Chain A
């Protein structure tokens, strides 16, 4: 008699890795729609190129590593990496930017470290950081929000042929991001009040024009993920609170030299970083106390790099730097085991 034998437990949730990834992708949609609204079809083109490259790279690497292709290709993790990278790239980028970034993220940052679950650094952010360092010009050509009407075909032609419609120039279309603009002008010893008066088109209701909506919608998606228990609240809350408090402190001390906390919270990639990038389980701290430290670290580094560092936005670098600290954080934040004395 041979009935089937296996180890307990004999009940399991129907939760799967691909469900988690799918939930993350759904939660990203409102923010992505806002990005498309403000920066045009290029966003969608970048995301699509990144996805195609990521899937191809994933399949290739799985094949080379002699791993089963189908379950890993369908786990959704490459998809999430590709989407996060695609969103982070300026919409008017040539085609090889998302392709190179996605290939680098998947091949170097993910599979060379052992694939899903083994990569110490967030692959999307590794890809982004590589692009930012290697191709600074392409990576800083952000369209001025809403102040253009490039059609889908116009955008497609630029992406693949780098040709703009007649009487459009790159300089006319693009502008520095608000974070960048404020930073450059502060460096020219202008006060914030002067900057506000000088470039009103940069600012919206509470923060930067356009960016505030994008951030709000990413935050909304992130809150849904917390509600669905796909991510825990620890990292986003710790990171955003730290950013708020530190920027608030400097702003209160000198409102003309340091931007307001709201400006920091709702511009750049703050919300995308807090809810979707820093919370990547593979590369974040695993214990709750560790997650809070991890989030505080990102918040601090984000402010430091934005204010005194070489890059206007710093989510990628803040996250990557804290990724490095994760093993140490995890080691020192082991919870007290049941029945162990409390001291």
Chain B
């Protein structure tokens, strides 16, 4: 069946470099001696450790629990002993360290008892979401937003279409393609669970037309009775068609509102890997402790896809794939367009590590030339922005203007910087502007808080002063009153004296008439 598809503006047709890492089936990465499991592997708040140093843990055991709403737990990827809970280097663009749980493997890989759910359709949506949350599942496509939140449309929203994103549009990355080839049934199972949680009307599994094998296998795995509400759609291979907003546009012709969410147009989008992880959590009771990782690039001897335990150091995987271990190489986590370089090959694989790319560092970092306003960047921008204007204002630190030109609609896909003939690192300028604006907002918030505090203090001082005055006034009044009482007291004294005198007179009168007394007696 030919289905109508739409286009998004711009985009790039890039050399795919996908075949290199798809020669071999998925293998399991060797169990490393030591795993480093960061407490924060997702967007939101870090998890809180529930284990102690020296404690023995089993594979799948919860190591840290969710602390806030936007947070998920992390689990032990193998059995062993907790060696440390401390700051370690993690894969992050900042290159900073972050709290991690260090787990020494005992080599036995002993599972904790797991409790699959027999019939998830009997569960309430909220209970289902809780199971998914407790399994530590985040979006495996790259951003790592806790999956259970995206399965909660809220009471008033109706989900029309649930889209499973198999469009792995960046060059070199193939972990989703391999997953779709190897576990098509599991992906569909996960999709059914998601559909139940969201009460979605229909589902789409979208993948690009360069993944023919995956498409055939998915179609085969789809049972007759399910195909009524699940469609598998092939879309043109144009970068960044795997971006949520771009994918929705291609599939439905609708645009997610600027600053909005897919839910605003009754859609929810999840990655295929997330679906598989959810199927594992529900049907087998397994938390998210492994994921597929593509290890590829010119510096890799045998590019391939591995099933990797979360916490495995990059260098262990690189070694397994025949990395030539040249310090002139660069290591990128993620794809060549949106990934970031890491400076330390010992950083661990986290839940969002889809690809480890290594190639020789380009010797001459070409010096950027001035912008010649050729407009290529605007031609390829999938968000329909004017990248050269954004660059201009970001460079001038004109943060108001840069927001007028919709900086925050930039998805940092890198198309503009890719085509720029002046080789200006455009995305870097946008990140800089975004961070500065966030920092300014934080400062403003702080300043507002400080001002509020100051005003509150002023008020308190004022109030105290008033209270003091009030107290003084009252005291004065009281004093006045008591003085008034004293004058009144003189009157009463007089009266008392008079009364006493009267009584004395009367007594004297009695003495003067003793007869009366006798009469009384």
Contacts and interface: CB of A to CB of B under 8 A. Distances in A.
B370 A12 contact: no
Contacts of A337: 258, 383-385, 406, 409
A286 interface: yes
Given A4-B361, A7-B431, A117-B372, A339 B421 contact: no
Contact of A339 (B256, B343, B388): B256
B365 A15 contact: no
A137 interface: no
A253 interface: no
B307 interface: no
Interface string B328-351: 111110101111111111100000
B417 interface: yes
A17 B258 CA distance: 33
A341 B405 CA distance: 15
Nearest to A281: B374
A213 to B, nearest CB: 30
Given A9-B418, A11-B418, A15-B419, A3 B339 contact: no
A338 B382 contact: yes
B369 A17 contact: yes
Given A10-B332, A71-B367, A339 B422 contact: no
Contact of B339 (A10, A72, A117, A284): A10
A8 interface: yes
A339 B374 contact: no
Contacts of B345: 1, 3
Nearest to A290: B375
Interface string B349-373: 0000000010001000111011111
A334 B421 contact: no
B245 interface: yes
Contacts of A288: 375
Interface in B16-73: none
A281 B372 CA distance: 6
A96 to B, nearest CB: 30
A77 B371 CA distance: 13
Nearest to A1: B344
The residue in B343, B421, B427 that gathers the most chain A C-beta atoms within 10 A of its C-beta is B421
A39 to B, nearest CB: 31
A334 B386 contact: yes
B327 interface: yes
A287 B346 CA distance: 46
B393 interface: no
A5 B343 contact: yes
Given A8-B338, A232-B375, A118 B370 contact: yes
Contacts of B376: 15
Contacts, number: 159
Interface of A is mostly: loop
A17 B383 contact: no
The residue in B9, B327, B369, B420 that gathers the most chain A C-beta atoms within 10 A of its C-beta is B369
A338 B336 contact: no
B344 A3 contact: yes
B148 interface: no
Interface residues of A, number: 43
Size bracket, chain B contacts: 35 or more
Contacts of A336: 384
Interface string A322-343: 0000000010001111111100
Contact of B343 (A1, A16, A71, A118): A1
B342 A3 contact: yes
Given A9-B336, A232-B375, A75 B369 contact: yes
A5 B339 CA distance: 11
B405 A334 contact: yes
B337 A10 contact: yes
B336 A11 contact: yes
B414 interface: yes
Given A5-B95, A7-B425, A282 B386 contact: no
A3 B369 contact: no
Given A13-B419, A335-B384, A8 B337 contact: yes
Given A1-B344, A3-B342, A116-B372, A15 B421 contact: yes
Interface string A10-34: 1111011101100000000000000
A3 B375 contact: no
A281 B375 contact: yes
The residue in B256, B412, B423 that gathers the most chain A C-beta atoms within 10 A of its C-beta is B423
Contact of A8 (B340, B385, B388, B419): B340
A229 to B, nearest CB: 9
B372 A282 contact: yes
A6 interface: yes
B361 A11 contact: no
Given A337-B385, A338-B258, A339-B245, A117 B343 contact: no
Contact of A287 (B369, B386, B431): B386
Contacts of B334: 8
B76 interface: no
B255 A11 contact: no
B329 A116 contact: no
Interface in A62-86: 68, 71-72, 75, 77
Nearest to A3: B343
B330 A4 contact: yes
Contacts of A193: none
Contact of A3 (B331, B370, B427): B331
A339 B427 contact: no
Nearest to B377: A286
B428 A7 contact: yes
B402 to A, nearest CB: 13
Contacts of B330: 3-6, 10
Contacts of B343: 1-5
Contacts of A75: 369
Contacts of A339: 245, 255-260, 383, 409
B370 A117 contact: yes
A71 B364 CA distance: 13
A334 B381 CA distance: 13
Contacts of B414: 8-9
B171 interface: yes
Contacts of B337: 8-11
B127 interface: no
A248 interface: no
B145 interface: no
B447 interface: no
The residue in B366, B385, B417 that gathers the most chain A C-beta atoms within 10 A of its C-beta is B417
A3 B341 contact: yes
Given A71-B369, A116-B369, A338 B340 contact: no
B292 interface: no
A22 to B, nearest CB: 12
25 contacts: A3-B342, A3-B343, A3-B345, A3-B361, A4-B343, A6-B425, A7-B428, A8-B339, A8-B412, A8-B414, A8-B427, A9-B338, A16-B423, A232-B375, A282-B373, A286-B373, A286-B389, A287-B378, A335-B378, A335-B386, A338-B249, A339-B256, A339-B409, A340-B406, A341-B257
Given A9-B414, A15-B376, 6 more contacts: A9-B337, A10-B341, A13-B421, A117-B372, A338-B382, A338-B383
